[in-house]
């Protein structure tokens, strides 16, 4: 099944409860403190965070592996009057830029989709190479607590006027992988079209990611209970990381 393929067209409707302005404001505070001007939004999806940060005045570039999601991002940018934002198809483990960036952002589970430690290392190594001296990396994860306890081995459903979905999860404690099987029904005229996708996320731990960040050269590493500057709690569901490329 093609991850974020057919789902891309319905993604924003199904994420209607996400407060993107608040999320953008949270990241904006870190970026302003770092004096960032140029920002790469990695695993940008439909570009909602990209556009929030563009509205804050940053020179944005969006990157994602899914061409379908990038098409939605370009449409969203056009509708928002930000049609000059470049959106490029790029694997987050193979990031490259024409000029080093002041900051790289990866929001909303991008790192969870890296299901092997070597993939995480490749992402961090390439992110480090894409940053200017002293540049800032911001990324968040759905916590191990969330994937194991809140989402793992649960079924979720939602029904709206123009779509419905069934979301079945299975968490494997040995591999620490959460397999998500999603079935969607999207209204098209008088009928509903059915399609399915499979998503797999890894329950990374904070110590694992701290070690990976240090190993790939990052310094001034900080970890927060997401959307706050508070320490991570045992039941934190989203965790925010900030790290810097050492200044020369």
Going along the chain from its start, the domains and CATH numbers come out as 8-143+204-245 (3.40.50.150), 146-202 (2.20.25.110)
57 backbone φψ class: left, alpha, beta (φ>0; ψ -120 to 50) = left
Task: Give the pLDDT band of residue 85 (cuts 50, 70, 90).
Answer: very high
Instruction: Calculate mean pLDDT across residues 113-134.
Output: 98
- The three-class DSSP label of residue 86 is coil
> How far is the C-alpha of 120 from the C-alpha of 141, rounded, in Å?
12
50 touches 60 (CB < 8 A): yes
Which tokens belong to 248?
Answer: 């020369």
> How far is the C-alpha of 42 from the C-alpha of 46, rounded, in Å?
11
Q: What are phi and psi of 88, to 5 degrees?
A: -120, 145
- The three-class DSSP label of residue 17 is coil
Q: What are phi and psi of 243, to 5 degrees?
A: -155, 155
Q: Among candidates 184, 99, 106, 105, which has minimal Cα distance to 142?
A: 106
Q: What strand order describes the sheet that includes 177-188?
A: 155-159, 163-172, 177-188, 191-202
142 touches 201 (CB < 8 A): yes
Q: Which residues are 242's β-sheet partners?
A: 138, 222
- The three-class DSSP label of residue 163 is strand
Residue 5 confidence (pLDDT): 55
> In sequence order, which residues have a C-beta less than 8 Å from that of residue 149 and are 6 or more positions away?
none
Q: 10 versus 111: which is more confidently predicted?
A: 111
> In sequence order, which residues have a C-beta less than 8 Å from that of residue 113 and are 6 or more positions away?
43, 199, 200, 201, 202
Instruction: Calculate mean pLDDT across residues 108-120.
Output: 97
**pTM for this predicted structure:** 0.93
Task: Give the pLDDT band of residue 82 (cuts 50, 70, 90).
Answer: confident
pLDDT above 90: percentage of residues in the chain: 82
Mean pLDDT of the chain, nearest integer? 93
How many residues appear in the chain? 248
Q: Among candidates 68, 206, 200, 85, which has minimal Cα distance to 141?
A: 206
Q: Is the pLDDT of residue 16 over 80?
A: no
Which tokens belong to 142?
Answer: 């759905």
pLDDT tens for each residue of 124-165: 999 999 999 999 999 999 999 999 999 999 999 988 888 899
Instruction: Calculate mean pLDDT across residues 216-232.
Output: 98
pLDDT tens for each residue of 172-217: 999 999 999 989 898 888 898 898 889 999 999 999 999 999 999 9
Q: How far is CA 192 from CA 28, 72, 130, 185, 248, in A?
A: 39, 21, 43, 6, 57
């Amino acid at each position: 099944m093609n991850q974020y393929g057919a789902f891309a067209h319905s993604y924003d409707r199904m994420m209607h409860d996400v407060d993107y302005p608040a999320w953008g404001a949270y990241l904006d505070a870190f970026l302003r403190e770092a004096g960032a001007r140029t920002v790469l939004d990695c695993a940008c999806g439909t570009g909602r965070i990209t556009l929030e940060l563009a509205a804050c005045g940053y020179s944005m570039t969006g990157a994602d592996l899914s061409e379908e999601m990038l098409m939605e991002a370009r449409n969203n940018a056009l509708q928002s009057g930000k049609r000059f934002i470049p959106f490029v198809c790029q694997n987050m483990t193979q990031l490259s830029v024409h000029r080093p960036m002041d900051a790289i952002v990866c929001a909303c589970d991008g790192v969870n989709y890296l299901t092997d430690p070597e993939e995480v290392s490749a992402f961090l190594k390439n992110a480090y190479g894409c940053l200017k001296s002293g540049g800032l990396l911001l990324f968040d994860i759905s916590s191990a607590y969330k994937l194991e306890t809140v989402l793992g081995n649960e079924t979720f459903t939602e029904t709206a006027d123009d779509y419905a979905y069934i979301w079945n999860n299975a968490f494997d404690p040995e591999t620490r992988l959460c397999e998500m099987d999603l079935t969607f029904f999207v209204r098209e005229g008088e009928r509903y079209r059915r399609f399915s996708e499979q998503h797999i996320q890894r329950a990374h731990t904070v110590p694992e990611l701290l070690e990976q960040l240090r190993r790939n050269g990052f310094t001034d590493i900080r970890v927060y209970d997401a959307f706050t500057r508070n320490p991570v709690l045992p039941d934190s569901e989203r965790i925010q990381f900030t790290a810097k490329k050492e200044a020369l």
